[in-house]
Amino acid sequence: MSAKKRALFLDRDGVINVDIGYLHRKEDCVFLPGIFELVRRARRMSYDVFVVTNQAGIARGYYSDEMFAEFTRWMLEQFEAEGAPITQVYYCPHHPTAGIGEYLKVCECRKPAPGMLLRAAQEHQIDLRASIFVGDAVTDMQAGFAAGIGGLCLLGRSLPQDVPSGVSLISSVSEAEARLTDGSATDVGGNSC
């Protein structure tokens, strides 16, 4: 059995791109400064990189799974062209109260539930305690905490009261670069990012 790998998990809206609400068209996408550099550095340091994103716009009927997939293909091409390939994108199309039809449901994948993170860890043999999650919402941090991710970074201006313990506040995506380790320690042991 091969050794488990480290991962950098990224929320999408507000971390990868400016959060305009229900982004699904490439012409509306503005990437946050430093995001390509962060992913490039993570890949150089042998981290797998995953995007984990709630997509309530699908649940609400604002856009389809197919439109999301088309935008995601384009986004992945941009990262590839920047020498910053993303390993895989996981998304939740459900909403517990505002979903339409089959998308109206309580699920284990919608953050703050840890389902997407746990699925990535299982499918890619990821050591969650040696991994980092960068998000911009309390629900991101709650999902990361529930999954047992060792480094939790909240992109924002202040730490909300309901944020889990051990979360580090960062003011830019570039600050997350300093949280990547060289791998000399095999386990971050629950340290903040």
Q: Find the catalytic residue in 13, 127, 136, 140.
A: 13
In the residue annotation, 65 being an active-site residue is answered as no
Q: Which helix (H) or strand (E) holds 53?
A: strand 48-54
Report how many helices (DSSP H) and strands (DSSP E) the chain contains, helices first.
6, 6
Which whole-number Å values give the CA distances from 191 to 35, 99, 165, in the listed order? 23, 37, 10
Cα separation, 103 vs 37, in Å, equals 35
Distances (CA, A) of 192 to 22, 107, 121, 170: 30, 28, 19, 12
**11 is an active site residue:** yes
- Active-site residues, by number, are 11, 13
